[in-house]
Amino acid sequence: MSTAIVRPFLLLPLLLLPLLVGTAASAPDALPPPPMVKPGTGQETVQADISTREIAIQSNFTGVEILIFGSIDFSDSRTPTGGTYDVITVVRGPNEPLVLRKKTRVAGIWVNGPANTYDDVPSFYAVLSSRPVRAIASDKALRSLGIGLSDIDLGRDTAGSPQEQSFHSAVIRLMEGKKLFQEDYDGVVFIGRSLFRATVALPVNVATGRYLVDVYLFRDGELASRSQGSLEVTKAGMEALIHTLAFQNPFLYGLLGIAIAMLAGLLGWFAFRRD
């Protein structure tokens, strides 16, 4: 008699099991499983590239936009709006010397006053990010990586010197006015879960040389990965010939200028002489 009572209780879980499985399978808000991570990898990696590797400046050059794109490998972000990843892109041009003079008024006339000489000022500097950089990482982390105009290194120590800080701010302000220093906190756009892109505008007055493109991947405020690329900005055509003569062979450039001036004078004398 006792055996007949126990057996239905043993069969009850088996009868309820299909119902429980069907309810769990039909849940509409169930998250997708995280993607498989390659064994042996300890963190995500960022892979990035540039739309062009060389920019040629000719007489009709009016500026150009370059596209920076990439992806996050081994991402474990389960939804596109998870918000765990942030990307900061920094484009830095070759360093150039710069002399900054402060204008002072003497007897109603504006004259050159105190001056500061900077030996290593980036000819171009742009920061693009998926959101404000101060919300992505700490000030210490940004300062160590040199990210942001407030932490850009111009080769002079500004600590404890109001005059140095004033000159430092003036350099940034003047370069921003020429569109050679840029900050765009919405410049990096995510496409889906792990793809991203950013567009940088190089103005018409951009300097020639090698440009470094650094892409930083942050996760929850910590640097997870970094990728670096480069591009070359060069002169082409007659502009390249004149630039090469002027900077690499200045003596020959001067002689050529004198010869052209003398030839132009002789041609003008022959054309307008009176017999």
Q: What is the pLDDT of residues 10-22, one digit of tens each?
A: 455 555 555 544 5
User: Which of these ranges, 16-20, 25-29, 131-135, has the smallest mean pLDDT?
Assistant: 25-29
Residue ranges of domains in the chain, CATH in brackets: 44-252 (2.60.40.3880)
* 237: CB partners within 8 A, 6+ apart: 58, 59
pLDDT average, residue stretch 123-152:
91
3-state helix, strand, coil in the chain (%, to 5): 30, 35, 30
Q: pLDDT band for 247, please (50, 70, 90 cuts).
A: confident
Whole-model pTM over 0.85: no
50 forms beta bridges with: 68
Q: What pLDDT, on a 0 to 100 scale, did the predictor assign at position 37?
A: 41
Residue-wise pLDDT for 145-189, tens only, equals 989 988 888 877 777 778 888 888 889 999 999 999 999 999 999
Q: What is the mean pLDDT of residues 56-85?
A: 78
